[in-house]
Amino acid sequence: MELLKAIKERKSIRAFKPDIIPEETLKGILTLATLAPSAINLQPWELYVVSGEEKERLSRRLLKSYREKQISCSPGNVKLLEEKFTKRGVASFELMNPYLERLGVEFNRFINEGSCNFYGAPTAIIICLDNSFSKARLVDIGILLGYITLIAYDFGLGTCPIGLISAYEDDIKELLNIPENKDVIIGIAIGYPDWTSPINEFKTPRDSIESFVKWIE
């Protein structure tokens, strides 16, 4: 598949089929994804690929913690955000809500519980970073994440980055035996999209580059 086609067509998937992803497929995706650039080739990422019963156990643990702690998805300190950012968030909610109404679920519950359950995906990828690295290496993690989402699309799979899980880092570390000196940065839900679900009809729009780019000559 052409790269530009994948960039234009890829979107976050929030409903998955239960079909198991072959291990060789996952290995192929991650082998290609780890060709991503990183500062002085440090390749600082560490990945935990969780499938099957272990993934179900992880989802149950995260859902239990969410219901106890009620830490929700958040863009940050809304009071300090520029209006253009909050407008985009509100617009995304308004655009997604009709699809959720068709499913009969409320936005906050769907997003928060869905994140903790990786939206029902058969596999979750947990990306970690040794806390000896500076925060600058989060850039490398972001590049890797972009590679994974595009390569997975080329393999016929859907993905959804899951940021909320970092709020439940202690639960993840305990369950997956992740060393204390590793920080949980982000998760990725990955699987075969369920195209019968209304939510997978939804795709967020993007502003024109005039909203982001300043030309200096």
Average pLDDT for the chain: 94
Cα 28 to its chain centre, rounded Å, is: 19
Domain boundaries, the chain: 3-202
Q: What average pLDDT does the segment 124-138 reach?
A: 97
Q: Which of 164, 194, 201, 205 is nearest to 73 (CA)?
A: 164
Per the CB < 8 A criterion, the answer to whether 19 and 194 are in contact is: no
Q: Tell me: pLDDT of 78 over 70.
A: no
Does an H or E element contain 26, and which? helix 23-33
Q: What pLDDT is stored for residue 75 in this prediction? A: 63
- In tens, the pLDDT along 29-71 reads 999 999 999 999 999 999 999 999 999 999 999 999 999 998 8
The confidence score (pLDDT) of residue 73 equals 75
Helix, strand or coil, per DSSP, at residue 130: strand
Query: CA dist 31 to 28, 34, 36, 94, 148, Å?
Result: 5, 6, 10, 38, 10
Rounded to two decimals, the pTM is 0.94
**Tokens standing for 32?**
């290609």
Longest CA span, the chain:
56
The pLDDT value given to residue 196? 97
Q: What tens digit of pLDDT does each residue of 165-212 get?
A: 999 999 999 999 999 999 999 999 999 999 999 999 999 988 899 888
CATH fold group of domain 3-202? NADH Oxidase (3.40.109)
Give the helix ranges, DSSP H, for 34-177: 52-69, 83-103, 107-116, 138-154, 169-176
Mean pLDDT of 107-121: 96
